[in-house]
Amino acid sequence: MTEPVRLSKRMSELGLCSRREADEWIEKGWVRVDGVVVAVLGSKVLPHQRVTVERQAAAEQSKRVTILINKPMGFVSGQAEDGYKPAVVLVNAESRWSEDQVDTEFHPKQLRSLVPAGRLDIDSVGLLVLTQDGRVAKHLIGEDSSVEKEYLVRVKYSKPGTLPEHELKRLNHGLIMDGKPLRHAKVFWMNEDQLSFTLREGKKRQIRRMCDMVGLKVIGLKRVRIGNVKLGDLPTGQWRYLRPDEEF
């Protein structure tokens, strides 16, 4: 017999919402299992049972915003740490990009539950996603996520000459980190001191550690794309909304 699982976990697996959203909806009586309202947190369901949500849940979810920031150096992605400010402090009416094509009006309430969907180190710059939508967060940073993330990385080789071809091949495939082989990457030279990295995973300081393994020192790192969404001309320190026609 298949084991029952928490309703909130099952809703996340089905792609309906995040677990946090699921708990909120359950408490509000917006979730039905086989047509019956389930309003008790911690309730469990069997995989074959039908889970549906009320229209109010979908309406609330549609109001949740996803914001793209061109993060400058010196800001952390998430919670403030060691005296450094989180990137969310950059989101206000004044710092919104003047060429944002979305007609949504900014309101401070949009800052509630706005969390980073993936990290970008304090000394890295470029595209950072902040979202209120649990589906977006799960898609970008969930355990099964394979969304591509592209970076431009300025490097300096620590040995005489240039990086050997076999070491470049190791960057593409063959490195082991934290005891596990890294997924295939796409790494190639843009010019004599800048590499393009495209990854499908996001271990902490992964690119810097990969470079260190082959004798490269990272001088600068900029994320320019997540899935199909590009940083483009978004100015440093400014933000815009994810457009309805954009998908990661």
Nearest one of 216, 198, 124, 108 to 162, comparing CA atoms: 216
Catalytic residue among 100, 121, 193, 233: 121
CA dihedral 21, 25, 26, 28 (to 10 degrees): 140
Do the beta carbons of residue 166 and residue 187 sit within 8 Å? no
74/87 Cα distance (integer angstroms): 9
Residue 6, SS3 per DSSP: strand
Q: Cβ contacts of residue 115 below 8 Å, gap of 6+?
A: 78, 130, 131, 132, 137
Residue 242, SS3 per DSSP: coil
Any catalytic annotation for residue 212? no
- Cite the active site residues: 121
